[in-house]
Structure 1
Amino acid sequence: MKTTQNTILITGGSAGIGFEIARLFSQQGNHVIIVGRNEERLAQAAAKLQNVTPLVGDVSKEADVEAIVKILYSDFPNLNVVINNAGSAFLNNLLETDRTFEKAQEEMLTNYLSIVRLNEKLQPLLTKQAEAAIVNVSSIVAFAPNNVLPTYGASKAALHSYSLSLRLSLSKTSVKVFELMPPLVNTDFSQPIGGANGISPTAVAEDLLKAFETDTYEIHVGHTAEFYKLFLSSPTDALYAMNPAFQA
């Protein structure tokens, strides 16, 4: 996949991983469109970047998606890369009745169903391009869940399965499907679960750029690479490695 002269849409692009991807790819000579729910934060992010267009919208809301898609088709007909990075996560104890369904519903909508919807609406535009890509940002927990984020892990497992199917379905088109699978990343988003101990979002962005250069479609960032090997050798060991407090 080419790494320059792309027109790139990044959801959740005003902070964290999305912002770092926007920063790195804009520096590579790409035009980047960042989407975010908070207009003020989005404007602040855009002011720090070059060659960027901010679009306010919530990808979990159908009306916002329709508005964004309309703008993309009319103003950015050369759009050829979609990076689905917007996410939602909650600490969620399944032994308690603290809004478990409500939290899971929001995570599944944002982390999985909204991505399916956006990809479906943009697929006709992407397939017109000579070279195009969809990047779904999932997680290390797509392989084995963490007990403090059980329903978040389930949404990322769904996204992983969908990404595999989408890659097969689009294999005879110009659209390449990448899945970016970070471990814990040090962002504002991850602070409630110890994000300060995670890798930098810059490292995640750099690995995505390398994956574009080499057409590496499943991108195991940082510790995910080692964890994936453990998962292949023993899914049970991987589960307990992710949840050491439950290990016998």
Structure 2
Amino acid sequence: MNMSGNTIFITGGTSGIGRALAEKFHQAGNQVIISGRRKALLEEVTAANPGMDYVELDVTDPAQITAVAKDLITRYPNLNAILNNAGIMPFDDPSKGEFDDDLLVTMVNTNLLGPARISAAFVEHLKTQEQAYIINNSSILAFLPLAHNALYSATKAAIHSYSLSQRFLLKDTSVKVIEISPPWVDTDLIYKSGDPRAMPLDAFIKETFEKLATDRIEVMVESVEAIRDNPGSNEHTLVNLFNQSVIENPIPVH
């Protein structure tokens, strides 16, 4: 990926990985536009990064997505990259009868349909650019599901699958599809705790940016690259060992 001179729209850019990537791209000489639902946070981030722009957007709202895409394409005709980062990670337990339908439907709308709708809203414009990028933020949990975040893990596996199809169908265009698959990074997605099992955010951003600057279509930090190769007929062994280790050493929550 060309790491400077782009005009990049980043969803979920007010905290965690989204904000850190937005600031890193901004510092590297790109025009960055972030989105989120909370105006106060959008103003805080852009005030700290003069020249960065923002739009309010709820990625579960198809009408808002259409309106925002039209506005941004008009105001930024050189827009050539979108980064689908917005996501939520509620816990769910598929072994129990409890099911928070409203919350989990919102998660599917945010994590899966959000990126699909954002991509559809911008893709025809992106095809007109000499070099263009759709960057989808999945998770290493796409390949190694966390049992107590079963539906979240499934949405990330779906994003990986969607990226494969999207990449194939765009192969003869100027649009390159890149998938980022973060490990557990110490952000507030679950609970910013300083847990030694979580990768520090600055280290994650540094390594991710270095790999984005290559011709990779899948970007993941070295510590989890082997997990990418785990799915197969014997994948259950690692999945079971991983989830048992989480049960024995629970992830801290509020």
TM-score by length of 2: 0.90
Question: Which residue number in structure 2 is paired with residue 162 of structure 1?
Answer: 162
1-side partners of 2:101 and 2:22: how far apart? 33
Structure 1: 4+ residue segments shifted above 6 A? none
Q: In percent, how many aligned pairs have the same letter?
A: 34
**How much does 1:72 deviate?**
1.1
Deviation at 1:222, TM superposition (A): 4.5
Q: Over aligned residue pairs, what C-alpha RMSD do you find?
A: 2.0
| Number of the residue aligned with 2:107 | 107
Instruction: Give the Cα–Cα distance (whole angstroms) in 2 for the partners of residues 209 and 245 of structure 1.
Output: 30
Cα distance change of structure 1 residues 113 and 199 upon mapping to structure 2, 3 Å threshold = same
1:211 and 1:217 in contact (8 A); partners too = no
SS in 2 for 1:243: helix
What CA deviation, in whole Å up to 9, does each residue of 1:172-229 have, x standing for no partner?
A: 111111100011111111218x674411233333333223321111112253213224
Kept in 2, the 8 Å contact 1:14–1:34? The answer is: yes
Q: Which moved more, 1:127-136 or 1:102-111?
A: 102-111
Task: Tell whether the 8 Å contact from 1:6 to 1:80 is kept in structure 2 after alignment.
Answer: yes
Alignment of 1:118-197 (within 5 A): 118-191=118-191, 196-197=195-196
Of residues 44-53 and 174-183 in structure 1, the stretch that sits farther from structure 2 once superposed is: 44-53
Equivalent pairs counted in the alignment come to 246
**Which stretches in structure 2 are left out of the alignment for 5+ residues?**
248-254
- Paired with 1:85 and 1:222, the residues of 2 have a C-alpha distance of 21
Change (3 A) 1:95 1:230: closer
Higher helix share: 1
Q: By how many angstroms is 1:244 displaced?
A: 1.8
Q: Take 2:37 and 2:20, find their aligned partners in 1: how far apart are those partners?
A: 17
Corresponding position of 1:116: 116
Q: Could you list the runs of 5+ residues in structure 1 that have no partner in the other structure?
A: none
- For residue 208 of structure 1, what is the aligned residue in structure 2? 208
Query: Residue type of the partner of 1:27?
Result: Q
| TM-score (ref. length: structure 1) | 0.92
Cα deviation 1:7-44 (Å, max 9, x = unaligned): 00000001100110011111111000000111001111
1:217 aligns with 2:217: yes
